[in-house]
Amino acid sequence: MNDMRKSKQLREAIRILERKLGILGDFQVSCCEVTMAQCHALVEIGRAGSISLNELAELLNLENSSMSRTVDKLVRKGMVKRDIDPSDRRYVTITLTESGNELFRNIEERMNSYFEKVYHSLPMDKREQVLESLGLLLGEIGKSECC
């Protein structure tokens, strides 16, 4: 198989992976009552403990305005709070509320459990290879520009 066909095969595999993970995202949405963007924001805020809007937008590869709208919705739902830095009033930190923290832990627990099942369903002798290959793929996707 030539390189062009292989690269198209890679593209199609990634598209299918995105769709399958999107279905997983729909499962999260219906279960946790948040959108995918909100779910990703909750996870990143929860993992960081405290994060600025700019840092969160950069992590999620979103525009600041989109990130701000997502965070506003989470604030209205009582999941996150914004705090102004006393030493620099222009700097706002975002943290989880108690209910946001509870949802974050629930999402983490469920996703960890799901991916543990997926990992253990892989042939034992291929598990490290899959992780290494995904790491290489993500590294290259991060370097290369699209469109």
Determine what percent of the chain falls in helix, strand and coil, rounding each to the nearest 5. Answer: 75, 10, 15
The pLDDT of residue 21: 73
Q: Over the stretch 18-30, which tens digit does the pLDDT of each residue have?
A: 777 775 555 554 4
For the segment 99-124, what is each residue's pLDDT rounded down to a tens digit?
999 999 998 898 888 889 989 999 99
Encoded tokens for 11: 């593209």
- The string of pLDDT tens digits covering residues 62-92 is 898 999 999 999 999 999 999 987 888 878 8
The mean pLDDT value for 47-61 works out to 93
For the cut 90, the answer to whether the pLDDT of residue 14 exceeds it is: no
Provide the pLDDT for residue 32: 65
pTM (2 d.p.):
0.79
Q: What is the CATH number of domain 34-112?
A: 1.10.10.10
User: Nearest-CA neighbor of 98 among 112, 77, 113?
Assistant: 77
CA distance 33 to 85: 30
